[in-house]
Amino acid sequence: MTEILRYTAFSTDPEGGNPAGVVLDARDLDDSAMLAIAADLGYSESAFVLPGSAEREFHVRYFSPLVEVPFCGHATIATAVALSERIGGGPLVFDTAAGRIDLATGAGTASLTSVPTSSAPAPDHVVDRALQALHWNHSDLAWPVHIAHGGAGHLIIGVHSRDRLAKLDYDFDALADLLRSEGLITAHLFHERSTDVFDVREPFPVGGVVEDAATGAAAAAFGGYLRTLGKVPTPRSLVIHQGEDMGRPSRLLVDIDPTDPRVVVTGTAVSIN
């Protein structure tokens, strides 16, 4: 019988963070079985682990309730912590559809080094459709809207007002259609609380989920976005607060180096089984 673990990532509280399903031995599961498990759990993503080519190396796949996704940050953190609790802390390597992910693990904590990130301005028609789906206006925008990648594609939108995030009420189908048409996974909606501290909300209608409580892949993409905008002249460390408006507070630590296109995302994880 397949053992299905449940962890929440980017929190030390089982009532916080973003829950993920974790299957540490998925050798007997085909695609339809993995998707069925992810749909039954109902979490934004679940991770399925297969043996890799060397010790402490694993092939990992990620499924939302509706589709397979190339990479998921919070499920990666959850899986890395679950593995470290069983085989000991230290380095891990995950071979994913997005590429190689190097990890460092310790007691209840993991840091992932993303694939190379990239970011570019979103076309005007994408911005217009996104604002319409979000019920926002151009006057709400405080930052350039970009399409950024950090293992998966994300639409990055920064607003002037924290209150605008708090009152988020978007058109699920319209945003899903837009993101799918552009090959994107989520919309990364952010407000700059203070220097190096950001509040984030993350609609994920493509995966059949209204909102993610923590999104490590988007945090990596956001690091690439800031680098592209010239906001990382020297190494920079960020704190991202996400999930607060959902009642599942999450804390993501993001380290960006101007000389390295990769981004390091760090978080805790705890079992909720």
- In the chain the domains, ranked by start, together with CATH numbers, are 5-113 (3.10.310.10), 118-262 (3.10.310.10)
Question: What does each of the 273 residues of the chain score in pLDDT, given as a tens digit?
Answer: 899 999 999 999 999 999 999 999 999 999 999 999 999 999 999 999 999 989 999 999 999 999 999 999 999 999 999 999 999 999 999 999 999 999 999 999 999 999 999 999 999 999 999 999 999 999 999 999 999 999 999 999 999 999 999 999 999 999 999 999 999 999 999 999 999 999 999 999 999 999 999 999 999 999 999 999 999 999 999 999 999 999 999 999 999 999 999 999 999 999 997
Tokens 């930052």 belong to residue = 143
Q: Which helix (H) or strand (E) holds 230?
A: none
User: What was the pLDDT predicted at 108?
Assistant: 96
User: What was the pLDDT predicted at 229?
Assistant: 98
Give the three-state DSSP class for 16.
coil
The overall pTM is greater than 0.75: yes
C-alpha 17: how far from chain center: 12
- In order of 127, 146, 170, 205, the CA distances from 133 in angstroms are 10, 16, 6, 12
User: What was the pLDDT predicted at 1?
Assistant: 80
User: What was the pLDDT predicted at 273?
Assistant: 77
User: What was the pLDDT predicted at 263?
Assistant: 98
Which residue, among 115, 105, 149, 145, has the nearest Cα to 229 in the 3D structure?
Answer: 145
Torsion sign across C-alpha atoms 176, 220, 93, 4: negative
